[in-house]
Structure 1
């Protein structure tokens, strides 16, 4: 049983070392860093957040109370 656990730990250690080597290889390529692509991920997160906020605004603006409030503001502005 102990040999089995040792073998599993050895394979896991080897996977970690291979992953570390791949990451280090990317960082060593000219013009690339370990953070390459981070700006794209940040834009994607901001886009999803903006879409969620737009959906929330649509729900709020469709309510009758908000609609009446906005129509009252517009009527008041146009009647002056």
Structure 2
């Protein structure tokens, strides 16, 4: 990666870490919150014939994790283009 200057480099990594923090918070809320902390409240809701808390604990958090990977990929590609360090 060749940044134009140190300010761009600092801004890029600051933006990257902010994105990572946001995505990790979403992952934590879905996996730990929905799958463990709020499972009793969510189990009162049916989702495709399953209790919602059970579904999040077994499958939902995995689906969200995979979706977060694609979100991260798309956001990082846009950020790379913004700072001029994308692969051509």
Range of TM-score over shorter length = 0.3 to 0.5
TM (norm. structure 1) is 0.41
Instruction: Judging by fraction of residues, say which structure has more strand.
Output: 2
- Structure with greater proportional helix content: 1
Query: Which one has more relative contact order, counting CA pairs under 8 Å at least 6 apart?
Result: 2
